[in-house]
């Protein structure tokens, strides 16, 4: 811990005034103080400095000194209850839970209804829906526009089940190699959406998230001002939702105070 603290102080002095630091710059710095350092040791040093909170990744190859918060949403009892009642049976499958309540933190608009979205491996998504619908009301499987307008938006609470997009950015609460994926193991907390996924879904889910779409620009700006965001995560997930990555035009046109390196990153990826 003391070593990381000392390195953190030195790095902040060396790169004082810079908006971002590249992985290559960090590599050159570590080689300058230890010419014999190995590439693996450099990767480990960067990893531990991110864990320590010295800086955070804003892309896979760019870092910024941490002056923002790490997003940590409240997982309410309704989500936990669903997870506890289904996770052992579906232990081998990928899950992601999120709720529209999490958007309320980022806007003055407080929607009166809540939608819990549960994304699960496509091969079991429909059977998971039928299991959940036995004990819960207002559960919908891949609802269409009419179902959303006439049923979901008029209810205080609804659950939406849909297939998960491959390699979606998820926060997994239990990643112990010894227990992960065992047939009857259940992680203590449900896997939830990363903040980058929550924002990307807001952009693309034009029917399901209509009440929050009205505040979309404010939500993005509030999140960017307050929380750490990794734009490589947004890019990789958005590419699987929309190969044109139009979301980057939205970000560039609406989110202010972006570092110049991030603007260049978004412009380059937008044109690929």
What mean pLDDT is reported for the chain?
A: 89
pLDDT digits (tens, 9 = 90+) for 40-63: 999 999 998 888 888 899 999 999
Q: Residue 138's pLDDT is what? A: 94
pLDDT digits (tens, 9 = 90+) for 90-124: 888 999 999 999 999 999 877 788 999 999 999 99
Q: Residue 52's pLDDT is what? A: 83
List per-residue pLDDT tens for the chain, 272 residues long.
Answer: 567 778 878 888 888 888 889 999 999 999 999 999 999 999 999 998 888 888 899 999 999 987 788 899 999 899 999 999 888 888 889 999 999 999 999 998 777 889 999 999 999 999 999 999 998 999 999 999 999 999 998 999 999 999 999 999 999 875 444 434 444 455 578 999 999 999 999 999 999 999 899 999 999 999 999 999 999 999 999 999 988 788 999 999 999 999 999 999 999 988 76
Q: What percent of the chain has pLDDT over 70?
A: 93
95-99 vs 114-120, strand pairing mode: antiparallel
Which residue matches tokens 């004990």?
A: 135
CA distances from 34 to 29, 41, 78, 81 (A): 9, 11, 52, 52
Instruction: Give 153's contacts (C-beta < 8 A, 6+ positions apart).
Output: 113, 210, 211
pLDDT digits (tens, 9 = 90+) for 4-22: 778 878 888 888 888 889 9
Task: Give the C-alpha separation, 251 to 203, whole Å.
Answer: 10
CB 258 within 8 A of CB 250: no
| 40-69-170 Cα angle (round to 5) | 65
Q: At what angle do helices 247-254 and 216-226 cross, to 10 degrees?
A: 70
CB 91 within 8 A of CB 186: yes
Task: Give the C-alpha separation, 20 to 262, whole Å.
Answer: 9
Q: Residue 203's pLDDT is what? A: 97
Which residue matches tokens 């590249």?
A: 22
């Amino acid at each position: 811990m003391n070593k990381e603290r000392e390195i953190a102080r030195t790095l902040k002095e060396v790169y004082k005034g810079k908006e971002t630091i590249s992985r290559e710059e960090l590599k050159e710095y570590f080689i300058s103080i230890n010419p014999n350092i190995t590439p693996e040791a450099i990767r480990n040093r960067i990893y531990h400095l991110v864990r320590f909170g010295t800086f955070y990744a804003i892309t896979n190859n760019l870092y910024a000194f941490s002056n923002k918060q790490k997003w940590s949403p409240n997982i309410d009892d309704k989500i936990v209850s669903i997870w506890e009642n289904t996770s052992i049976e579906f232990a081998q499958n990928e899950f992601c839970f999120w709720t529209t309540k999490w958007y309320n933190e980022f806007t003055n608009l407080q929607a009166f209804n809540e939608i819990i979205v549960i994304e699960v491996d496509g091969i079991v998504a429909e059977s998971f829906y039928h299991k959940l619908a036995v004990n819960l009301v207002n559960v919908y499987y891949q609802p269409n526009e009419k179902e959303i307008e006439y049923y979901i938006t008029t209810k205080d609470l609804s659950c939406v089940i849909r297939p998960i997009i491959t390699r979606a950015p998820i926060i997994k609460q239990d990643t112990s190699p010894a227990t992960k994926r065992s047939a009857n193991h259940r992680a203590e907390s449900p896997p939830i959406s990363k903040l980058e996924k929550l924002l990307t879904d807001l952009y693309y889910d034009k029917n399901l998230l209509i009440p929050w779409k009205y505040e979309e620009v404010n939500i993005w700006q509030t999140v960017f001002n307050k929380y750490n965001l990794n734009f490589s995560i947004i890019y990789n997930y958005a590419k699987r939702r929309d190969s044109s990555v139009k979301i980057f035009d939205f970000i560039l046109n609406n989110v202010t105070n972006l570092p110049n390196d991030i603007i260049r990153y978004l412009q380059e990826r937008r044109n690929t």
